[in-house]
Each structure stands twice: as structure tokens, then as C-alpha cells.
């Protein structure tokens, strides 16, 4: 139970970083931290004590596995997170090229 609370604290660190920092790259970092916390939380939900990784083997016939369904969903989510990070970095690179700063307050003032 305390592990879930630690996971929520990690998510709130990412959320705080996304809200408060003024640098665009820091905002991307904050969103990345929040995404790590969400992935970790799903896999924590599916863990079973004294069970094994969900891979069948020719020589052992045990059936005591951890839950494979959250692992399949989070595998998709990790790769999608990479795609979203790439698009955000592309946008921020173009913004830097045009306005010469990463500070969002300056960007708001230099309209047009």
C-alpha cells in the first residue's frame, strides 16, 4: 500500500514540474516523469507474490505467473510515449529557432 503512495508522489512531482517551470524543456521532462509514474503504477497492480515472469518453459510446468494483461497494455504505452516526446521536442526546436528562447513568458509577448 505504501508503494502505491510513493508512486503517486512521483506522479505529483511530474505534475508540479509541468505546472510551475517556465522552461519548455523542463515541461517536457515533467511530462516524462509523470508518464513513468503511470506505467509503474499499472505494473505494481499486476504483481503477484512468489510468482514468475509470464513466459512458458519447456522444462517446468508451473502455472503461477504474474498478471500478463497490464504488461501487454503498458508495452504499447511506452512506445507511444516515445512518439509523443519526439513530437514535443520537434515543436520546441522550431520555437527556439523562431524566438531564440525557451521561456514561455517571452514567447507569449513576442507575438507575430
Partner 1 sequence: MLEHHVIILLMIAGAIVAMELEDMLSSVIALGAVGIGLTLEFLLLRAPDLAITQLVVEILSLIILIRATVGVKLPPEKVKGRIGYFLFAVVFVVAFLVFSYRALGALPAFGAPVMKMGSLYVKEALARTGAANIVSAIILDFRGYDTLGEATILFTSVIGVLAIVRKVGRKQ
Partner 2 sequence: MRQESGMTLIVKRITRITVSLIFLFGIYIVLHGHLTPGGGFAGGVIIALSFIHLVLAFGKKVALKRISEATISAFESIGGVFFWSIALGGLLFSGVYFLNFLPKGEAFSLFSAGTIVFCNIAIFLKVGAGLFAIFVALAFLRMPDDPKEGGKAA
Residue numbers 8-47 binding partner 1 by CB under 8 A: 8-10, 12-17, 19-23, 25-26, 28-30, 32-33, 36, 39-40, 43-47
- x/- map, 68-87, partner 1, by CB under 8 A: xx-xxxxxx-xxxxxxxxxx
The answer to whether 92 contacts partner 1 (rule: CB under 8 A) is: yes
For partner 2, the closer CB: 58 or 108: 58
Residues constituting the chain: 112
Residue 110 interacts with partner 1 (CB under 8 A): yes or no? no
- What sign for the dihedral angle of Cα 100, 104, 106, 109? positive
User: Site residues (CB under 8 A) for partner 2?
Assistant: 53, 55, 58, 75, 79, 82, 86, 89-90, 93, 96-97, 100
Residue 23 bridge partners (DSSP): 103
Report the partner that residue 38 touches, choosing among partner 1, partner 2, none (CB closer than 5 to 8 A by kind).
none
The contacts of residue 28 (CB under 8 Å, 6+ apart) are 85, 88, 89, 92
Which residues fall within 8 angstroms of residue 65, CB to CB, at 6 or more apart?
Answer: 48, 51, 52, 53, 54
Amino acid at each position: 500500500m505504501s508503494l502505491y503512495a510513493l508512486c503517486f508522489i512521483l506522479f505529483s512531482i511530474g505534475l508540479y514540474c509541468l505546472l510551475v517551470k517556465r522552461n519548455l524543456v523542463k515541461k517536457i521532462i515533467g511530462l516524462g516523469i509523470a508518464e513513468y509514474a503511470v506505467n509503474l503504477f499499472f505494473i505494481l497492480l499486476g504483481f503477484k507474490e512468489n510468482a514468475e515472469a509470464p513466459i512458458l518453459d519447456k522444462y517446468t510446468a508451473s502455472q503461477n505467473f504474474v498478471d500478463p494483461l497490464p504488461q501487454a497494455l503498458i508495452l504499447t504505452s511506452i512506445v507511444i510515449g516515445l512518439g509523443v516526446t519526439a513530437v514535443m521536442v520537434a515543436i520546441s526546436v522550431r520555437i527556439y529557432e523562431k524566438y531564440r528562447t525557451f521561456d514561455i513568458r517571452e514567447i507569449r509577448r513576442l507575438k507575430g
